[in-house]
Amino acid sequence: MFERFTKDAREAVVDAQVVARSTHSRTIDARHVLVALVEPGAGPACDALDAVGLDAAALARALRDELGGAGLDGEALAAIGVDLDAVRRATDATFGEGSLDGGGLLRRDRKHIPFTADAKKALELALREAIRLGSAGIDGGHLLLGILRGGSPAASALRAALAQAGSDDAALRAAVERRRDAA
């Protein structure tokens, strides 16, 4: 299926792993894919969101806040007598530079972060959306629709953002379809 993904969709799937690492997640769920899809601010997904009045960057920020990712708080640790810089140096010396970054995912564990069932389902539904629309490839718009259909926390967050923007699923679907028809 991945061979049918367009460049922007492939980048979103790959970047979801970067988002997961930056938010200190041990798995990639559909929210990570959604952040990766809308954060750069370009491509079919962002175009569709813009068309329905939704601020893609604000959605990405809200999802990142939901996912966490603040990392270790040096000031809070110092308040209880822990020197984060000393811990980081010792960890780097033992496990390699940067091993403390990523929420405790040690370098030997950093090769691959697995996708959760809801993320896999969103990718599968993106394929179904592409087939339904008669598209040869799966692009970011299809991924967006796949996430929306999936019923995951990402879909709930997307629906809430759409409602806040005065829009809904049907308007987003129409925006994706209009963009495809114009291409």
Q: Which ranges of the chain have pLDDT less than 70?
A: 69-74, 96-111, 182-183
Assess whether 58 and 140 both reside in one domain: yes
Domain edge (last residue) among 83, 109, 135: 109
* CA–CA separation, 58 and 177 (whole Å): 23
pLDDT at 101: 59
Q: Which structural domain, as residue segments, surrounds residue 169? A: 2-69+114-182
Assess whether 136 and 177 both reside in one domain: yes
Assess whether 33 and 98 both reside in one domain: no
Assess whether 91 and 123 both reside in one domain: no
Determine whether 65 is exposed, middle or buried from the number of CB atoms within 10 Å of its CB (0-12, 13-18, 19+).
Answer: exposed
Residue 60 identity (one-letter amino acid): A
Backbone phi and psi for residue 178, each to the nearest 5 degrees, phi listed first: -60, -45
pLDDT at 77: 73
Assess whether 63 and 119 both reside in one domain: yes
Assess whether 52 and 96 both reside in one domain: no
pLDDT at 107: 39
Assess whether 53 and 118 both reside in one domain: yes
pLDDT at 83: 80
Domain edge (last residue) among 109, 130, 160: 109
Backbone phi and psi for residue 2, each to the nearest 5 degrees, phi listed first: -60, -30
Q: List residues bridging with 168 in a β-sheet.
A: none
pLDDT at 89: 81
- How many domains, in total, are found in the chain? 2
pLDDT tens sequence across 154-173: 999 999 999 999 999 999 99
- In angstroms, the Cα distances linking 154 to 147, 173, 183 are 7, 16, 27
pTM for the model: 0.78
